[in-house]
Structure 1
């Protein structure tokens, strides 16, 4: 496994980091507890020492499963990445901004973005309990909250670092202007953003800024939630309550299928899966510290970890990039 230093911190993350969104089950058509735990253990056993989760994933379930999976393991050899700022239990008492309605057991649950000081402190204590640990390696704001001053959020994160409850603080889904404002109070260690072959908007402004200011980028949705695996063009079916039923409609699926047909011979030649090829390309792009790869069972986790070993030549990258220009 390849490890990279995260921004201005002493944290070193595996270039492939375990993404624990799907194991929460919510929005993903459910989950299997034992498979979820096995996926985490397999990641750890194959050098993927970092696990990225969040309270919102499964309304606490993802964090609980992560805590159960790492029980008895050497905590210092594991990097736990979690988040704050999405409130679904009403504890925000009308503060923050409405985000969307989530669903659980057929009921709509309003979710709010809220990054006020008291909420951050509350969420961290709850996350520490679910994760069964006394510190979080990287705590990240899940989504921007326009109703709370960025300065207040950053000052609270600075307090938590001094208290030892978190080792480093980052953000998610921030644009360049928001990063600049945050840095006036506390330089974020990282920005977790959506990035994939089908979504490269960050390359224009955000990546140059983070490179110049020693801020790491953690890329999420590199597989576009499984679309780039190709299996949905080969008869794969989604459950009715899987959010990807609607998510995939944003893409020109004919062009995505053409891209996959270009990538598949490269993957076959290298004796790797299409997913492994896509993950490796993503990890080799400028400014990317780590790539989040979700896994719902041990085999997927193992394959994700092995993607870090895929060798892509300059010619391979040129072929891939020319195919991407046609999207």
Structure 2
């Protein structure tokens, strides 16, 4: 495994970081809690020391699973990354309406993007309790909240840093301009943004900003919700609770195009006796500015495969070939 510092924060993360979105069973068709704990432990045994979670994943369940998984591990050898700013549990609606969803029991919920100072303090205490720890290695605003000034949000997080409850401050789904505004108040370590072979729009502004200002990029959904594994078939059925059921990248015609691209690089994977997913992850981490790939796993076997992507070696010629084939995809800009 390789490890990289997140900006100038002093926090070093494993470049393959365990993404525990699916571990909360949220918008992904459910998962088994014991399998999720086993997946995190299996990843840790292979050097994946960083785990990314959030309160909204399963309405606290994902953080509880992470807390259970890291219990007994040396705390200074684990990096816990979590988030704030998405509230489903407010007594009265506040902030910017995000979306409607359901909890793991099927009850309807309205989620609000809300990052007012008093809310952040409350969220931090709740996350620390669920995680079973007394500090968070990287605390990230989950989505921008247009109802709260960025400086007010960042001042609150800076206080948590001063109190020793947070080691480093990050953002998620922020534009370059929003990052620059946040930096006026507190040093940022990172920005967590969607990035994959078929979703590369951050290359326009976020990547250049982060390269210029030494900010880490944590790429989430690098396998594009499984689309880039080569296991998704055109017209494949997903349960209504699964985000992919209505996702535009899972329309049959696009799945067909992606699979045609994957067929072009499949011989490369086979020649190295590795999976398509491992090649995709290695390509992703080779792109300029990409520091960490967040990858989820439902069980120990998947976690092991993700971690072993770091054993795959791709030459500059092989990387160039993959990019050349990828650029033939009309929507891969």
Q: TM-score range by the shorter chain?
A: over 0.9
Secondary structure at the counterpart of residue 110 of structure 1: strand
Shift of 1:237: 4.8
Structure 1 distance, partners of 2:49, 2:131, is 15
- Any conservation in 1 of the 2:227–2:255 contact (CA below 8 Å)? no
Contact 2:233 2:255 in 1 (8 A): no
Residues 1:38 and 1:326: Cα distance change in structure 2 (over 3 Å): same
Answer yes or no: is 1:5 the counterpart of 2:11: no
Pick closer, same or farther for the CA change 1:28–1:264 going to 2, 3 Å: same
Find the counterpart in structure 2 of residue 94 from structure 1. Answer: 93
1:169-318 to 2 correspondences below 5 Å: 169-233=169-233, 237-247=237-247, 248-249=249-250, 252-318=254-320
Cα distance change on mapping 1:49 and 1:236 into 2, 3 Å: farther
Q: Which TM-score applies when normalising by structure 2?
A: 0.95
1:110 maps to: 110
- Corresponding residue for 1:125? 125
- Over the aligned positions, Cα root-mean-square deviation in angstroms equals 1.4
Deviation at 1:95, TM superposition (A): 1.8
Which residue is 1:144 aligned to? 144
CA distance in structure 2 between the aligned counterparts of 1:14 and 1:29, rounded to whole angstroms:
27
1:267-312 residue CA offsets vs partner (Å, 9 max, x unmatched): 1111111111111111111111110000110011011001012100
Residue 254 of structure 1: how far off its partner (Å): 2.4
TM-superposed CA distance for 1:324, in Å, is 1.2
TM-superposition CA deviations, 1:140-187 (whole Å, max 9, x none): 000000000000011111100010000001000000110111111112
Partner of 2:164: 164
Q: Measure, in 1, the Cα distance between the counterparts of 2:304 and 2:254.
A: 30
Q: Could you tell which deviates more after superposition, 96-105 or 60-69?
A: 96-105
User: How far apart are the structure 1 equivalents of 2:176 and 2:189?
Assistant: 14
Mapped partners of 1:260, 1:283: distance in 2:
18
Q: Helix, strand or coil: the match of 1:233?
A: coil
CA distance in 2, matches of 1:20, 1:155: 28
Which secondary structure state, in structure 1, belongs to the residue aligned with residue 99 of structure 2?
Answer: strand
Question: Where does residue 68 of structure 1 map in the other structure?
Answer: 68
SS of corresponding position for 2:269:
helix
Structure 1 residue 90, shift from structure 2 partner: 1.9
Segments of 5+ residues of structure 2 without an aligned counterpart are none
C-alpha deviation, 1:256, in angstroms:
0.8
The equivalences for 1:22-37 within 5 A come to 22-37=22-37
Q: What is the TM-score of this pair, normalised by structure 1?
A: 0.97
Q: SS at the partner of 2:66? A: helix
Distance 1:23 1:239 in 2: 17
Runs of 4+ in 1 over 6 A off after TM superposition: none
Distance 2:61 2:16 in 1: 22
Residues 213 and 194 (structure 1), Cα distance of their counterparts in 2 relative to 1, 3 Å cut: same
Number of equivalenced pairs: 326
5+ unaligned residues in a row in structure 1: which ranges? none
Distance 2:311 2:267 in 1: 18
- Give the 3-state SS of the residue equivalent to 1:272 in structure 2: coil
**Displacement, 1:240?**
3.5
Matched, 1:321 2:320: no
